[in-house]
Amino acid sequence: MTVRTRFAPSPTGYLHIGGARTALFSWLHARKHGGVFVLRIEDTDLERSTPESVNAILEGMAWLGLEYDEGPFYQTHRFDRYKEVVRQLLDAGHAYHCYCSREELDEMREAQRARGEKPRYDGRCRNRAAPREGVDPVVRFRNPTEGKVVVDDLIHGPIVFDNAELDDLIIARSDGTPTYNLTVVVDDMDMAITHVVRGDDHINNTPRQINILRALGAETPHYAHVAMILGEDGKKLSKRTGAASVMEYRDMGLLPEAVLNYLVRLGWSHGDQEVFSLDEMIELFDLNAVNKAASALNHQKLLWLNQHYFKTSPLEHVARHLSWHLGQRGVDPSTGPALESVVEALRERCKTLVEMADGSVIFYRDFEAYDAKAAAKHLTSAAEPALTALRARLTVLAEWTAAAIHDAVEQVAAHLEVGMGKVAQPLRVACTGAGVSPPIDQTLMLLGRERSLGGIDRALAHIAENRA
């Protein structure tokens, strides 16, 4: 049988890190087994679901590269189908109308509590012969009263529930709209889902869902309930401790493959291996090996992975992602040196694409002002001879290469009988505005001759002005 998995988010916010990991596990399982990955949008909560949130989920998945094979299917487009199944369950006697009012239910629960019992629906409408006039009933599922349901969870192992513990769940409200457990069951059945991967907050829904599936004569999928992700402090994730949206990870300057690698290791391991290419993840990932316990975020590890991918990915790949960050700064990367060469110069020095973009802007746009300290120290009358000599030599350099620039700087230093630093530092501040940059020869090479000479002229004018 073809493996079919699904990701079924409720569009009530962005795609957060926990949702992304559930999607990844589900996607990996499908990819590993030649299966199909379905995207289903569970938007039946009309008050909380928004189109913006659907877009945010799609955007997050696209950025991570978690492509789906079928969908997105929207539950709001399937109300007729849900009604049909509720009808089917009613007709077969697996469901019944319940006319109990809120007051009646409250009273019932109160009495149960008073007797020291767990509050639950007692099934009083199960065998009601006639409708109650003027009341729109809800529909309840007639849960079996005896026996056990075993959820053979791929992560947790078998979890046993007594049917006697499960009361008759509402599957359609009095206005006819279906409830969550019904829609999930109908969709998992119609979409022929073989493996349900989802958060372990759904464990308690699972025996109910299995009972409804059985009543419908449908196959029961395998279930894999994934533990939650904790903040760095080991506490439940909150906005403050990093319940970040996936797109925030992009904005922080991380590569999607670093985030995927990070996510896959939150709750899953393969020996002590930390770095997994996408192909390795697909090959090695195994739902059975996912950890039952919650796992905590670790920002340092994410940065470490990001740097690893900076160093090992093809330059053009990193360049493509850097390009977006430059665009965010209003810089058009087609107006300067090839981004690949910029990545090559900067990738060892940067942990994120944000740092890399900050360091690259000067190659595309003249800097606005000197770093005051660097200028005060290095752009003084003492630097004038070096800058003047550099200008002359760089103007006539036959080839604008890092090696040729390096030689020119060395020759000027030798000619003036000063250390390299006395030449290179003024040159650096002149051309970049700051006292730190990648090696000066690489920096000038990337800046290009015109911008470099322009920088020297600007610095000479600055020195003259300060003297006047």
Q: Annotated catalytic residue: which of 239, 301, 351, 377?
A: 239
CB of 263 to ligand GLU, least distance (A): 17
42 binds ligand GLU (CB under 6 A): yes
9 binds ligand GLU (CB under 6 A): yes
Residue nearest ligand GLU, CB atom distance = 198
153 binds ligand GLU (CB under 6 A): no
Q: Is 236 known to sit in a ligand binding site? A: no
193 binds ligand GLU (CB under 6 A): no
CB of 462 to ligand GLU, least distance (A): 59
Residue placing its CB nearer to ligand GLU in the complex, 71 or 385: 71
CB of 12 to ligand GLU, least distance (A): 8
198 binds ligand GLU (CB under 6 A): yes
User: Does residue 351 have an active-site annotation?
Assistant: no
| Window 201-230: contact mask with ligand GLU (x via CB under 6 A) | -x----------------------------
Look at phi and psi of residue 351 and say left if phi exceeds 0, alpha if psi is from -120 to 50, else beta: alpha
In the list 8, 171, 172, 405, the residue contacting ligand GLU (rule: CB under 6 A) is 8
| Window 399-438: contact mask with ligand GLU (x via CB under 6 A) | ----------------------------------------
Residue placing its CB nearer to ligand GLU in the complex, 4 or 198: 198
Segment contacting ligand GLU by CB under 6 A, of 6-14, 102-110, 260-268, 322-330: 6-14
184 binds ligand GLU (CB under 6 A): yes
Tokens of 200: 């372990």
186 binds ligand GLU (CB under 6 A): no
Segment contacting ligand GLU by CB under 6 A, of 7-15, 97-105, 127-135, 426-434: 7-15
Residue placing its CB nearer to ligand GLU in the complex, 184 or 319: 184
333 binds ligand GLU (CB under 6 A): no
CB of 343 to ligand GLU, least distance (A): 38
Residue placing its CB nearer to ligand GLU in the complex, 195 or 422: 195
Just list the catalytic residues.
Answer: 239
The residues binding ligand GLU (CB under 6 A) are 8-10, 42, 184, 198, 202
